[in-house]
Structure formats: C-alpha cells, structure tokens
Amino acid sequence: MQNLRTLRRSRALTFLDLAALTGISARQIAEIEYGLRRLSSNERDSLALVLGLAPAGFTGAHRRPLAQTVAPAPFVDRRALQTLMAAALAATIATGSVIGGAPKLRLPVQQAPAALEHATPRPSADAVGATGALGNLTFAPAADQATALVKLTQSILELRAALPKLAISPSLLVGPTPPEGVAPPPLLVIERAPAFVLSEAGPLGCPVKPTAGQVVLTQGYGVGSHAPAETWGAIDLAVDGDGDGYADSAATWYTPVVATHDGHATVNLDSWPAGNHVWVNEPGGIWRSGYAHLAVVLVASGQFVRSGEQIGLIGSTGQSSGPHLHYHVWRSDLNLDPTELVGC
C-alpha cells in the first residue's frame, strides 16, 4: 500500500499545493507524512478525493512514528532559544513580511507617519538589543531581552494606531440585484502600494478598493448575522459614493476586492451562506482571510496571489441583503476581529 509521501511526490505536489487543494495545513500534512500525527477521518477523505483514491487505499506515514525511533531529547540551553526568538521576531517585524521571496517592507497605510516612510528592511539595533550578529551570537541579559520584546510589541501597536478608522454607515444596504445600467468595470490594475503588511496582529490593509467615495462599515464583528463571533465573526464593508455617510448600493456593486496578504487562493462558488467565497491562505499555515458574497471571482483555487492583487468584485451572492464584502480573518482556528486591521 502506497503512503502519502510517495503519492504526493508521484503527482509533483508540494506540501503547499496539497494544502491548497485539501484545506489541510502544510504543517499538518508534513506531520502526517513523518508519523508525528495520525490521519483523521475527515483528512483521509479530503486527501483521497484529491489523490483519486479510495479512503482506505493509502497510508499516512512513510516511516515509523518518530517517537518510536528517536533518542530522548538532549538538554537545550533555553537562553539561546530565547535570544534567537527575540532576534527572529525583531527581524520579522522590521521587514514587514517574509513570504514568497526576499524580505519586503510594506507600510500599512498610504498616509504613513514620516518615521515609517523612510524605514528600511533591517532589524533595528534597539529591537535586536545586545544579541549582536546572528552569525556570532552572544547571550543578552534577560532584562535586555524583555525590553526588546516590549519595544517590538509597541511597534505593532503604533502600526495599528496609524491606520485610518472606518466610517460606519447609519443603515444596512438593501436591494439584492444591481441597479439598472450598472455593469462590471474592466479589470483594474491595482498597484502594490505600501498599504499592506502581515504583522503579528494580523493582515493590515483594506480589502476594498473603490474608484470613488469611501469605504464604510455596515455590520460589525460578532453582531447580527455575525454571531456567534467565534464562528461567524466578520465585518461587512460597502461604499459611500456621495459622502452622506450612508452605504450606496450603486457605488458598491462591482467594487474591486483585493487580498490583504500573500497566499494561495481557495475558491468556493455558489456556497451557502457565503455565496461566491475566496479564502487566501498564508503559506506559513497561520493566517487566512475570507472574502464572501462576491459577484465575480477573478482567481482560481491553488493560485498564489500577492497582497493588493485583485481577487474579485463585490456582489450580493449567497445569504445577503445587498451588495457588500463580508471580510473575516483567522489565526489558525481563532476567528479575530478585523475592524482595527482594515484601515479603509
């Protein structure tokens, strides 16, 4: 009987490819292949469907579980681990995001503070503290490490505080069909402006890109159809085209929707209650964002998209009272409130 590793390689699939096709994280697939965890029945069914096999037609691990073969773990100097973690976290925050290529710094808002406009993708001396160069690592005192971590946390809070606040529409949208004469615009080329960053707090950036007007919030996180928050938590975004503070149906229809972070797309068409829905799954397997009720989907499952790239047009598919974007953010299995992250 063939194992998962052999089957995956015979089909020229990477961990990320198989994760995008099955919805199982790349890390979990790797753990299954190396015998660190057992296949659940749902995981077996998903993998069998993608691999074109019966659920009982393959095994998970290609070797005995590592727990049966490895020696007891040796003593680890935790000072070194703590120092490396502090330095790695500092480098990640300073570079914004390390996904799909060389480190890149992407500022979270178009009207960024002057201190951020000239930032460079290098760990700051304050953040790294007394650890020195990673190639010639020395141990920093515990107090210095704690100070560095506090400064890193503060930098995240400053990025979030710099984001514009969402306007809240006084009423919800009405009307499930496009107004007469409103047609989808041609596909827009949206430049990757310095408006997106995947931080420790989540993906910072606005998923709605209107050509005119402002983005407004029509329903908040964890209320109305978004309750309970741990399952349905999201925010609904629309467009106020004339500046009166109310979401406009005509201005909202077919507004471009963009990914707020890099990742592989998973597309579900005509689903319920989300209608045409797109997931963007961050390659590290930690973050994913969802975009629901789209009128038009412009990406395919498995496609890799970059932050700021257009993935669809706002619509009213699925269970929807009118055109809007239902936007939700997850960290692993935790549903987060994206209100302070979008910065529209």
The answer to whether the CB of 316 falls within 8 A of the CB of 324 is yes
So what's the architecture of 167-342 in CATH? Distorted Sandwich (2.70)
- CA proximity to 316, closest of 209, 174, 165: 174
E strand or H helix at 339, and its extent? helix 339-342
CB count, 10 Å around CB of 114?
A: 6
Q: Enumerate the domain spans of the chain.
A: 4-68, 78-161, 167-342
Among candidate residues 12, 343, 329, the one with its CA nearest the CA of residue 165: 343
Kind of pairing between the strands at 304-305 and 334-336 = unpaired
pTM: predicted TM-score of the whole model, two decimal places: 0.54
Per-residue pLDDT of the chain (344 residues; tens, 9 = 90+): 788 888 888 777 788 878 888 888 888 888 888 888 888 888 888 888 877 778 777 787 765 443 343 344 444 444 554 555 555 555 554 444 433 433 333 333 333 333 333 333 334 444 333 333 333 434 455 566 667 667 766 776 677 677 777 777 776 555 455 666 666 655 444 444 457 889 888 999 999 999 889 999 999 998 888 988 888 899 999 999 988 888 999 999 999 999 999 999 999 998 989 999 999 999 999 999 999 999 999 999 999 999 999 999 999 999 998 999 999 999 999 999 999 999 88
Pick 4-68's CATH classification: 3.40.50.720, 1.10.260.40, 1.10.274.10, 3.40.50.170.
Answer: 1.10.260.40
